[in-house]
Chains A and B, each alone.
Chain A
Amino acid sequence: MIDELNTIETSAVAAIEGATSLAALAEVKTEVFGKSAPLAKAQRSLGTLPPEDRKSAGRAVNESRGRIERALDAHRSSLAEAERATQLVAERLDLTEVPEGATVGHAHIVTQAWQALEDVFVGMGFRVAEGPEVETDWHNFDALNIPPGHPARDGFDTIYVDHGRPGTTLLRTHTSPVQIRTMLDQEPPIYIVAPGRVFRRDTADATHMPVFHQLEGLVVDRDISLADLAGTIEAFTEAYFGPGFTSRLRPNYFPFTEPSAEFDIQRPDGSWLELGGCGMVHPNVLNAGGIDPERWTGFAFGFGIDRLAAMKYGVDDLRELFTGDVRFLNQF
């Protein structure tokens, strides 16, 4: 019996180890453990043995079956591993084959700067106001203390359009008309910024464009002073440019503010950048906006967005911003 079992076991293990695939192994398993397999026959023959031998013979059969099963499991694992290894090799991919550069769009640098500026001022409690790009000469000039014939009108290089009475409708030369529209629309206190497109009759070159973008700020409240203007410019400077940037005001001239100032930004390296104009809102402008200059005072400021955007990335020719060339647009 024992000899017989040894033969059965040896040939079963040989058959298992001879299987070269998981499919073949499954067939061998059926052969080895099937009802008509020698092992099953040996199991069945236990009943024919004398009772005193049955126990040891039974143990021998079970042990033999256990060894065959372990051999089967071991060979299955090694076959599975080999097959997985073969499959993985066959599935090899070179991940560097994927071309670089995904098709995502790129926001225009003017829009990026515009939105960043809006966010800074919203954080300081300002709302964002808008107005028409085609304006009346009253909103663009008269209401801003630049009456007809005022020499400052020449300085703006205004583009007029054929609409209404000749010479009365123009492409706004600055975002300041939004000040007037806001004051006429809304009671003080007023805290707004007005970003937008503006126009000048200028030949395009590296530093001038006939179409560009400005951001205007207007505050009208009780007891607003030059200190509030300087503080607002300073807070904006640090919030937008970062820590270590400071600002200063120095006297300047604009028809729509009195006193007027130019504001400069000082970089951490000590160098200065002339950024824009500002001042206390001229009483004539408050009056044009329907606001009593004795009860309310205010300040206004304005600067160019495009130049800020260009400076940030070292773009030295503003014309590049407006060609639609993707070799430019997709850099940012």
Chain B
Amino acid sequence: MKVLLSWMREFAPVDGDPSALADTMTDLGMVVERVETIGANWDGIVVGRVVDLRPHPKADRIQLVDVDRGDGEPLQVCCGAFNMTVGDLVPLATIGTTMPGGLEIARRKLRGEWSNGMICSASELELGEDADGIMVLAPDLDVGSSLADALGAEQDTLFDLDIEGNRPDALSVAGVTRDLSARLGVPFELPSPSLSELDPAASTGASVTIAAPDLCSRFGIRVLHNVSVGQSPAWMANRLTAAGMRPINSIVDISNYVMLELGQPNHTYDLATVSNGHLGVRMARAGETLVTLDDVHRTLTADDGVIVDAGDTPIGLAGVMGGASTEIGEGTTSVLLEAAVWDRMTIAKTSRRLGLRSEASTRFERGVDPMGIERALDRFAELAVEICGAKVATGSVIEHGNLAPPVTVLVRTDRVNRLLNTGLTTDEVAALLDPIGFEASPTDGGLMVTVPTWRPDSSIEEDVIEEVGRHHGYEKSGKRVPTPEQFGRLTPHQLGRRRIRQALLADGFSEAMPMPFLAPGDLAMAGLETSAITLSNPLVAEESVLRTSLLPGLLKAIGRNQAHRIDGVRLYELGRVYLPSADELPDEHEYLAAVASGFGTGTDEESEAAAHAAVRSLHRMTADLGLSGVTIANAEVPGLHPTRAGEVRFRGRSIGSVGEVDPGVLERYQLSGRVAWLQLEVLPLVDALASVPKYRPISLYPSSDIDLAFATADDVAATDVASTIRKAGDGVIRTVQLFDVFRGEQVGEGRRSLAYQIRLQASDRTLTDEEVAEVRQRCIDEVERRHGAELR
């Protein structure tokens, strides 16, 4: 909402430094985003008349314009705009002028032709944002006079306000001024329009019926005769331009002016085109059609409100846009003027469905004052008399739909002070509310407050307390830090999550945060189960599925890096996946996943490294977290290399997977090399972190080492052999370390040698050579028996 200070001053003597006024409005919740001084520096800019137009001989995009500045000696100016004709009055910046934006105007040559000044656009004059063409001035100005004098444009200040959705009253100059003057303590007054009316009465030639009372709470009309539609006077055109609206013609401009001034959108019909001067209000019938003012043929639904003529034919889309058939034209002499208030939801739905957001629909959606329509009708008529020479028919016609009764609220002074941390008396509360139209009468413990009809957002005690706080000033509530009785802390789960992140960082994994949305084929491409939750209203198909695995997102991240020739990437993510469920909400599971790229592509040893690197990362993580009992079981895992993958088992169940991503998956994701993969559920890990390890005494007795190498089939898991050794050790084996794996002719096809170093130590005695030999033999026997292995 853009508001001119001079306009505000018509309602209240708001004085002072504009930036201080801006701060005050911001503090009231009408945030001033920009303060602009306009009409400030027009020295040297005069009203010129276009005398001749001709093409530039050497340039297509500029033309030569002869401009008379009142002395009968036209100046040639090169101009890049084409929106004027001979006879138009235009703002001419003469040689030596410094433009508001700082540009200095000098005599110069453009492609060989002299330019003796500049013809200005509204934006160059800082009169508005219109930079499309030069600003064509009203034809009644004196040629040669200074622009500032001609436009009556004294220095003025423009405030650009950001108005929140709960303040429809502040979508008008008057409303903003009411709020500001209340805070400043200056009197605010809306002048009553003065009208001389002529017979016959408006009601003899025009009428209204409301058949949809929920759609329209109040509908008012006036009739204006003898209207001559022309250009608006400069002062009005200037104000509209400053407010960001383009002047069109006097009737449209008055309509917009009244809306900006009072916040009441209104509409004009050419009375001659409205049969019997009758307007009806009803809901549209599905499939009904209407050509709107923008000449678009619209098909309506039963949720749209319409204005119909005496023949029940729609001639306007209620609150959103008028119809083309009754539009004001050059031949219009009698105007039927409408000011109505519409149901907020209906307008919101229709304007959204049709993609038609206008100044009017925005106001109706937020709530227009139903008791403001008489003033708007009168103000329009007053201006139409002044500008268009209109004769106003006597009286207005007002019809009612379902009008909500005024809201009254009990406001307890104690409640006000407790919520705002203030010490206001009941009288002081009333004094803060009165200037903004909240009528308060004392009652037991506080005030009975009647909410003004222009504040549809305000309906409960707290709403009114907000008004008190706003006008008293939030800063007067002070600052106090509450002291909770509890102490702050993270939960074990939250602490555990941090430890897991730390462990992954220490192992060289950087944290990625891919979007949790997948494209429809992503899961299948990753070799994963494809059932997943889909978005009902995705923005794009590529982001229409909720992830059920962290794999696709991380693979895409590797792809992004490989596309920039970066390999050897280590990334992790800790986040949620969303699984379909029969419950009220989907199952959300928290996982961590880590990927590493940059491993070789062949069948040589290098290519094995990816799977092994993944396992090493698992080991590092469990060591870092101090978890024991995490094991790997070679297994086929969807998405992973069928012979290089395993389940991660912990406390009797699978908690994740580890290994190498299936080369087929990598091919479909267009990744090169091999990719290491580790995924674990977070919950069992953080649960285990809560348990505190129990101290075990360190043995004081000497230890002895034995080395054993076994030839086993390839599909015997090395950890199974180690675990057999440990069990055979009868409590005296401290560590079992696999130190060599060897394949070759000596071992035979499909077999390999596994060499373990075993450290024996008892906690209560020195082991004898005989005992060591015994344990050694037991280990050999057990491994040979259970795993079909032989000692080498």
Q: Residues of A with Cβ closer than 8 Å to B?
A: 103-108, 110-111, 115, 118, 121-128, 132-136, 149, 151-152, 154-155, 159-164, 166-167, 169, 171, 189, 191, 197, 201-203, 210-211, 219, 221, 223-228, 230-232, 234-235, 248-253, 258-262, 280, 282-283, 297, 321-327, 329-330
- Asked if B142 is at the interface of the complex by the 8 Å CB criterion, the answer is no
What residues of A have a CB within 8 angstroms of the CB of B29 in the complex? 250-253
- Asked if B478 is at the interface of the complex by the 8 Å CB criterion, the answer is yes
Give the docked Cα–Cα distance between A180 and B624 (Å): 37
What residues of B have a CB within 8 angstroms of the CB of A235 in the complex? 481
In the complex, the chain B residue whose C-beta lies closest to that of A279 is: B466
Closest 5 CB pairs of A and B: A324-B557, A251-B29, A259-B466, A227-B421, A253-B164
B257 to chain A, nearest CB (A): 27
- Asked if B570 is at the interface of the complex by the 8 Å CB criterion, the answer is yes
B501 and A107 within 8 A (CB): yes
List CB contacts (< 8 Å) of B74-118 with chain A: none
16 contacts between A and B (CB under 8 A): A105-B507, A107-B501, A126-B488, A132-B585, A134-B546, A161-B586, A164-B584, A189-B486, A201-B537, A227-B421, A228-B421, A228-B481, A230-B479, A259-B419, A297-B419, A324-B557
Give the docked Cα–Cα distance between A107 and B543 (Å): 25
A125 and B580 within 8 A (CB): no
Give the docked Cα–Cα distance between A298 and B482 (Å): 11
Q: Which of B37-45, B229-237, B315-323, B561-569 contacts A (4 or more CB under 8 A)?
A: B561-569
Give the docked Cα–Cα distance between A164 and B584 (Å): 7
B26 and A323 within 8 A (CB): no
B478 and A230 within 8 A (CB): yes
Q: A125-B487, A323-B560 are in contact. Are A225 and B588 (CB under 8 A)?
A: no
Q: A324-B554, A325-B560 are in contact. Are A226 and B420 (CB under 8 A)?
A: yes
Give the docked Cα–Cα distance between A321 and B514 (Å): 9
Q: 17 additional contacts, CB 8 Å, given A118-B494, A160-B536?
A: A104-B506, A125-B484, A128-B491, A135-B585, A161-B534, A191-B484, A201-B539, A225-B477, A227-B479, A228-B481, A231-B481, A250-B31, A253-B167, A322-B514, A323-B560, A325-B560, A327-B564
The 8 A CB mask of B336-366 against A (1 = contact, 0 = none) is 0000000011001000100000000000011
What residues of B have a CB within 8 angstroms of the CB of A127 in the complex? 486, 488-489, 491
Residue from the set A159, A202, A297, A324 with the largest chain B CB neighbour count within 10 Å: A324
A281 to chain B, nearest CB (A): 10
Give the docked Cα–Cα distance between A196 and B490 (Å): 15
Give the docked Cα–Cα distance between A167 and B533 (Å): 14
- Asked if B469 is at the interface of the complex by the 8 Å CB criterion, the answer is yes
A177 to chain B, nearest CB (A): 11
- Asked if B623 is at the interface of the complex by the 8 Å CB criterion, the answer is no
What residues of B have a CB within 8 angstroms of the CB of A155 in the complex? 165
Partner of A231, one of B482, B506, B537: B482
Give the docked Cα–Cα distance between A159 and B507 (Å): 37
Give the docked Cα–Cα distance between A121 and B489 (Å): 9
B419 and A326 within 8 A (CB): no
A187 to chain B, nearest CB (A): 12
A161 and B533 within 8 A (CB): yes
Give the docked Cα–Cα distance between A111 and B504 (Å): 14
What residues of A have a CB within 8 angstroms of the CB of B54 in the complex? none
Give the docked Cα–Cα distance between A152 and B365 (Å): 11
Give the docked Cα–Cα distance between A251 and B137 (Å): 41
What residues of A have a CB within 8 angstroms of the CB of B534 in the complex? 161-162
Q: A159-B538, A163-B533, A223-B418 are in contact. Are A259 and B469 (CB under 8 A)?
A: yes
What residues of A have a CB within 8 angstroms of the CB of B505 in the complex? 104-107
- Asked if B576 is at the interface of the complex by the 8 Å CB criterion, the answer is yes
What residues of A have a CB within 8 angstroms of the CB of B483 in the complex? 125
Give the docked Cα–Cα distance between A226 and B475 (Å): 9
